[in-house]
Amino acid sequence: MSVRIGVAIFPGSNRDVDAVNALTLAGAEPVELWHERADLDGVAGVVIPGGFAYGDYLRAGVIARFSPIMRAVAAFAAEGGLVLGICNGFQVLTEAHLLPGALLRNRGLRFVSRFVEIRPERLDTPFTLALPDGRPLRVPVAHGEGCFYADEPDLDRLERDGQVLFRYVDDAGRAAAPGSRANPNGSLRSIAGVLNAGGNVAGLMPHPETASEAILGSADGLGVIRSLVESAARRQGSGTPVEVGAR
């Protein structure tokens, strides 16, 4: 029996179809969860997809935070449930305080839509364990507010505790400084994705679910989705959360 993974859908979500497609490719049974639902239908993991939830009014992701489905997601995450936020989903999770930091307007002010390279900083998390190695992944970004921000002490803590999950890197594989083209939005410390302290909630601005088939320009991202699916299946099988604490 394939593992059931939920995809939360808000008014304005638009990458939910990509998430459903990638989850299917990764061997899961995707379950669409409308934002008005107050439960998760017993899924083993949840993806918060990209888009413009509630029109991104006020601040990207903030209105979605107060929806019934997000209350259920917060409860699920508190019990160790696996949650992956992509792009707008990342913004929703930071606004919901399920992930650290904030996503600011891109430093260059423009909406950026192109391929970037991101390097997994850890391969022992539920979101990266199926990746073959630490080589950079070629995945697209498509966002106007993706500049990762946290204050200096928080950034130091994230690095120390192994909560930096992905970094933007240049052609030579070096972390891409804010202001360089390989860092599409000016993110501090080149951070493209982070983990929560418990290691069961992750978010990233690039779209691994879109880079899930060679015909789409890259299949590099599928490893991230497959990691989530495998981790959720393990968790379901053992009845206990996958052991991934902070380092």
Partner 1 sequence: MTDTSRVLRFAVNVTPKPGILDPQGRAVEGSLGHLGIDGVRDVRVGRRVELTVEAADAEAGRAIVERLAAELLSNPLIEAYAIESLGDGVPGEPPR
Phi-psi region of 70 (alpha: psi -120 to 50; beta: other; left: phi over 0): alpha
209 is a catalytic site residue: yes
Nearer to partner 1, 41 or 151 (CB): 151
Q: Does 186 engage in binding with partner 1 (CB under 8 A)?
A: yes
Contacting range for partner 1; rule: CB under 8 A; set: 12-20, 102-110, 113-121, 165-173: 102-110
Q: Does 58 engage in binding with partner 1 (CB under 8 A)?
A: yes
Q: Does 95 engage in binding with partner 1 (CB under 8 A)?
A: yes
Q: Does 177 engage in binding with partner 1 (CB under 8 A)?
A: no
Q: Does 196 engage in binding with partner 1 (CB under 8 A)?
A: no
Q: Does 22 engage in binding with partner 1 (CB under 8 A)?
A: no
Nearer to partner 1, 48 or 63 (CB): 63
Q: Does 108 engage in binding with partner 1 (CB under 8 A)?
A: yes
Where along the sequence are the contacts to partner 1 (CB under 8 A)?
A: 58-59, 62, 66, 95, 101-102, 104-109, 147, 149-151, 186
